[in-house]
Each structure stands twice: as structure tokens, then as C-alpha cells.
Amino acid sequence: MVTTTVFGLSTGLFINNKFIPAHGGHTLDTINPATGKHLAKVSAAQTEDVDSAVAAAQTAYVACWKRSPPQEKAKLLLRLAELIERDRDDLATLAAVDAGALYADTQYGEIEQSIQQLRYYAGWSDKITGKLLDGRGEGLSFTSREPLGVCAAIVPWNAPLMIAIWKLAPAIAAGNVLIIKTPELAPLCGQKLGELVCEAGFPPGIINIICGLGTIAGHALAEHQGVSKIAFTGSTSVGRSIMRASANSNLKRISLELGGKGPSIVFGDADLENALKWTIRGITLHNGQICAAGSRILVHESIYERFCREFHQRSRDAVYGDPLLPATKKGPIISQAQLQSILKSVEMGARNGGHLLHGGKAIGEGGYFIENTAFMGVDEDSIIARDEIFGPVAAISKFSTEEEAVARANRTIYGLSAAVFTSSIDTAVRVTAAMESGHVTVNAWGMLSADAPFGGYKQSGFGRDGGEEALESWTTVKTVKYSISAST
């Protein structure tokens, strides 16, 4: 059976540098969220296909990759970065039609981040070293950092290329082989990545990319005895299931980047224009379908009314439609199911006493669009203040003191990302130190970079993407001790 093509891409599973159909010919359909119409049919990996991908990776690791010099790994990562940069327009187009991401935002954000990550970790390939230990006169002792072997990454639909590269770059730099399970809702960037991996010259089996349902392909990877590590980005509930699967199989390593309910604290002395700019972007970028979204906005009582008024005026309207068009400022929600989930959360938030500033309704015809939405006077126990909605829904409330703001910001099961807005360095130092969050920005939101680790506290997960710290979860430490006899 021969795999078909869509947008010039093969729709098969990428295993051993070849695109092949799934076992039994299983496929899944994807939808263009901007139109609600059928977009593509791609192969859907089954348990047998996961076995094939693991076998290919194991063979490649033992046959060549384990002994491959670090300079070769660096060269391949740099070549992959060049190819992504060359084809960035195609990748941005795929992200727009597949995931509903704005073309311009993808170019600046997801694709640029991917290129930077690859180049950053290429530089680390020959610098992952151990330590010489003090043998206390008993001989020679040292440690080495070694790869784990066959690893897997399960990536989400909201930034499928970038988060795949967040896993791929350090995994390969550390000497591992990798199986990437792409998201069933947005698999096309992964199909393109498979082509580029092959063109870059990676030997067969080093990087395998399969699409499939999480309940089938993802579950099979999590339970597989031949997989030494799972890196997962997604919901907290699925993260728990992966941990259970690891415990019930081979106790594979796990790193989890999970949900968030990011607070933004706006103090009375903040530059209001700057705070408005970043808090609006923090909840409207990609329709708030970002784990680091600044969905809770805590504003000092001295500027609260003015802030809410300006936030309402500046964020309520946005040109929505085709994410490929330059004039579009708001793309679609990823799916009909996600749209309905957001609308239900908004309805419950209104019932729980929140004052709706604007939005809260589906808009347009033929696609999955929703208005930018904001509540003020939100009770801390309301669903819109407590739960990750994964939509463009801001919950604004006021505070009186610094201590109150910090306590309320930390009153969440999550701890992924936060922001602080103030003109006082003293305030910024105190508050950032007190925040229970893995990533905190001051007078801005986001600010991701390849050299900076990103990950969460509490139920936002553990492990880090980015920076030297990410390499720790893709390697293991070996201690070697030599007994040296005294000369006679």
C-alpha cells in the first residue's frame, strides 16, 4: 500500500526515513478550524506501528548513533535548522490551516523559536561532560553523562513544530534516538518535519515521527518496555496517565510540561500602557490556547477601574477570519469541541457572579471562532479563575496589598508562568521571589529563549525545556572508579 500526499506532503508514518501506511490502513481526518471543512487524511499509528518505530530506533541507536561523534550530531541539527529557515513560509502556512495559528505570529514565534533551539543545542553536542572526582587517594574517580537511548516525545496541537523541536534538539544533542508522536488535531507540521529530517541527512531510525490517537499511539509509547523516556506537553490529566503507565511498565523517565493558570500582577506604579499591551497579548495570542496564557489578571485597586475600562476598549474587538491573511488578528479555536468547552466555561463564569466586560459568544459561520472575552470582579473560586480554559478568556480582579496579590497569585494548583508589572525594582525582586511559578517575567509576558529553561511548579509538571537544564532529563550519570595500585 502506498501512502498518499496532501499539500505535497506524504501522509504516512515516518519510520526509518520512509513514509509508510499505518498497520491495517488506519487513518484519521483533520479539519481546517477556520472553515470547519475537511483538510487532510493522515495515517494513524496503531500499537504495531509503535512497535515498529521503537524497533527502528533501537537498531539505529545500537548500530551507529551511540558511537556517532558529537560533531556529527551538531552538524545534523544545524542542517535541520537551515532547512526549517528555508521552508519557514511553508511551515507557517501549514500551522495556519492545520492549527489555526496566525501566519505572522507563527513566523515570529514558533518557527523562529525552533530555529534558535536547534542552533543552541547543536552548540551543546560536544560539551555534555562529566566531572573528575576527588578520589581521596584511593584511585581515579570520574562521572560521565550518557544518553538514555530510545526516547519518545508526545507533543500538543497548539505549537506542534516548536514543541517537537523543544524535545528533539536536546534529545539528539545528548545522543538519544527519538520517536515523536504528533497531535491528531494538527499533524501536518510533523509530516513536513519528517521530510526535512530525511533531507538533513539523519540516518534511518534516529528520528521517527508518527501521528495517531493519544489513546492508542500515545498510550502504547507510554507503556512500551523499549522506551527509556517520555517527554510530554499537554493536559495535567494525561500527564497523570503517562506517569501511571510508566509505573506499570519499565519505570521510564518522564518530563511533563502541563497546564497553567498564569497570573499577571499589575501594581499601581506600573506603566499602564505597557501593562495593557502585554496582558492583552498574554490572553489573546493564539486565542489563549497556550499553557502559559496570562488568564488571571490581578490589578491594584488604585488603577483597577481605569485598567478594566482600557482593557475592555482595547481587547474587545479583533478582526477574525483566515489566519493566512495579514489583516486577520484573531484565528479560530482548534476544534468544535474546544469551542464548546470554552463557551460552557464562560456561561458558568457568568452564573458564578463574574461581571462580563465583553465577549463570550461564538462568531462567524463555518469555522470555530469566539469573541475575545473578559470578566471583572471575578471570585477566586469561580471556574474562570480556577480552571485552565484554554481560550481567550481573561479573569480580572483587584487587590489592595502586595501580600494579598502574591497569596492570590499562588492560590492555584498550577505554577507554569506568571508576570509582574511595576516600576519598582524592590517590588519586582520581592514578588518574583515569592511567586510559585517556573517562569516569571517583569514588565512583559512570554519572553521565551533557547537558553532559558521553561517548565512548571506543582501540577504544571516537572522537568524543563530549554537551557542547559533540559539536558539533565535526556541523560543519565555514570560513575567510574579505578583502583590504582601503589608502585613497588
Residues contacting 22, CB < 8 A, separation 6+: 12, 13, 43, 44, 45, 46, 49, 212
CA atoms of 176 and 280, how far apart (whole Å): 40
CA atoms of 101 and 98, how far apart (whole Å): 8
Contact 208, 17 (CB under 8 A): no
Residues contacting 394, CB < 8 A, separation 6+: 279, 283, 294, 295, 297, 311, 315, 373, 374, 375
CA atoms of 208 and 150, how far apart (whole Å): 11
CB crowding 270-308: b at 16 or more within 10 Å, else e? bebeebbebbbebbbbbbbbbbbbbbbbbbbeebbeebb
Q: Where are the beta strands (DSSP E) in 110-252?
A: 132-133, 140-147, 150-154, 177-182, 207-211, 229-233
Start-to-end C-alpha separation, the chain? 72
Q: How are the residues of the chain apportioned to helix, strand and coil, as percentages rounded to the nearest 5?
A: 40, 20, 35
Cβ neighbours around 7 below 10 Å, total: 15
- Comparing CA positions, the residue from 13, 114, 39, 42 lying closest to residue 334 is 39
Any bridge partners for residue 479, and if so which? Answer: 143
CA atoms of 431 and 429, how far apart (whole Å): 6
Task: Give the cell for residue 377.
Answer: 470582579
CA atoms of 11 and 19, how far apart (whole Å): 7
CA atoms of 178 and 439, how far apart (whole Å): 27
CA atoms of 257 and 127, how far apart (whole Å): 26
Contact 229, 152 (CB under 8 A): yes
Query: Which amino acid appears at position 427 of this protein?
Result: T
Task: Give the cell for residue 280.
Answer: 492583552
Bridge-based pairing state of the strands 393-399 and 373-376: parallel
Residues with active-site annotation = 257, 291
Contact 382, 50 (CB under 8 A): no
Query: What does DSSP assign to residue 264?
Result: E
Task: Give the cell for residue 476.
Answer: 543519565
